Amino acid sequence: MTGQPARVVLDGVPRVGFYFDQMKHDDSKMRCPEDVPLPSCLRACLEYLGDGIGCRKIGQSSAQWQQGCAYAYLMGTTGAAFRLSWKPGWHPDNCASWLVSDDPSEVFRRGFASVGYECEIVCRAELRKQGRDNEELLRGKIVESIGQGRPVIAHGVVGPPEECIIAGYDEGGDVLIGWSFFQGFAECNAGVEFEPNGMFRKRDWLDDLSSLVLIGDKGEPPDLKQAYREALAWALDVIRTPARCGDRHNGLAAYDAWADHLLRDDDFATDDLAVLDERFMAHDDAVSAVAEGRWYASIFLSHAAMDGGLKAPELYAAASCFAAEHDLMWKVWGCVGGLGRDEAKTRKLADPDVRRQIVPIVHQARDLDARAANHIERALAK
């Protein structure tokens, strides 16, 4: 682009990725699991901007923040810690964080507001309606933000339309550079090259990009007590709203839909491993969403009990429910032979007796979620 450097890369933007991959790298292996892209990408961008909330395990906190875990805080304020969604069938996007709301942009607005930042969301579907969807416009947004020293959160680019970080560009923007949770997956990285530090390099990126989230100006950090109150009210909405996006079971209703699908023996009556893998992945995504989400929900609520000015005993009781839910998901994993994905576990789930062992555990998790919501409601009551 005229007047712009051909290449700009923001050095020091933290790596993001799934836990099993993060453990391979010295610059990230001390982190706790961060398997939800949105809060992880936002956490990393804040750290690069010198405004990291921090982690009591590894530090990296700026003086103004009082929270002890950036990822837990952002899991809570976006609603990702409390999410569960199930679309009829076996869908790979069931656990996408934006599905907690009928408005996909809501989780981003809430996340940025909870750390005192503005954001601009550029959605290609909206641009198409306006007749403005073109590479030059999107490239300009990216180049401008990188030129201002601000990474960009994008959906897609490498792999499915989950969040990634664009930390730079090359060849005037023909090539995007950054971190993606999916850059190490062979099925997701066709045509992807890599920088010496491990960042992806992606050419011909337009068709794989669905939206941009541009980091805006920093304002005053929100009042912490108000931030917790708003996040917990939002948590109740996420947990108790039975349907989202028209046709997706949500919150407590999603547990029942998940359990009902596990009882559909005809869906598993096949030797086609690709079909069974599809079923297993949808199921395992739900297990992972509850396990990690509710664990961080318990941390978020414990911090809210200490710092939120609300009824601490109720919040600690809710945190205990969520921690117990996390433990139940390990029982679910145990039913198929443990944590991870392979053919043996896939075929184990196809066994109707195994699935009938899992269903009551899913129902127990639902009941704990409902109890936690009741405790949160009482904590918010004046």
- What's the topology of domain 8-65+117-218? Cathepsin B; Chain A (3.90.70)
Residue 329 has pLDDT above 90, yes or no: yes
Tokens in use for 37? 């892209």
Mean pLDDT, residues 117-145 taken together? 93
- Of the chain, the percentage scoring pLDDT greater than 70 comes to 95
Tokens 């306006």: give the residue: 130
Going by pLDDT thresholds of 50, 70 and 90, the confidence category of residue 64 is very low
* CA gap 344, 25 in Å, rounded: 28
Longest dimension (CA), the chain: 66
Residue 228 has pLDDT above 50, yes or no: yes
227-241 b/e (C-beta count within 10 Å ≥ 16 → b): bbbbbbebbbebbbe
Cite the residue boundaries of each domain of the chain with CATH code 3.90.70: 8-65+117-218
Mean pLDDT, residues 129-138 taken together? 90
Residue 68 has pLDDT above 60, yes or no: no
pLDDT at 56: 54
Residue 50 has pLDDT above 50, yes or no: yes
> By the 8 A CB rule, do 46 and 52 touch?
yes
State the pairing for strand pair 209-218/193-194.
unpaired
Going by pLDDT thresholds of 50, 70 and 90, the confidence category of residue 65 is very low
Nearest to 155 by CA among 112, 207, 192, 204: 207
* CA gap 285, 360 in Å, rounded: 18
Please, where are the H alpha helices in 213-342? 224-240, 252-262, 273-307, 312-335
Burial of 76 (0-12, 13-18, 19+ CB in 10 A): buried
pTM value is: 0.92
Mean pLDDT, residues 131-159 taken together? 95
Tokens in use for 250? 């949500």
Going by pLDDT thresholds of 50, 70 and 90, the confidence category of residue 63 is very low
* CA gap 46, 32 in Å, rounded: 17
Mean pLDDT, residues 36-40 taken together? 95
Average pLDDT, rounded, for the chain: 92
Alpha-carbon Rg for the chain, nearest whole angstrom, is 21
pLDDT at 190: 86
DSSP three-state, residue 75: helix
* CA gap 258, 231 in Å, rounded: 26
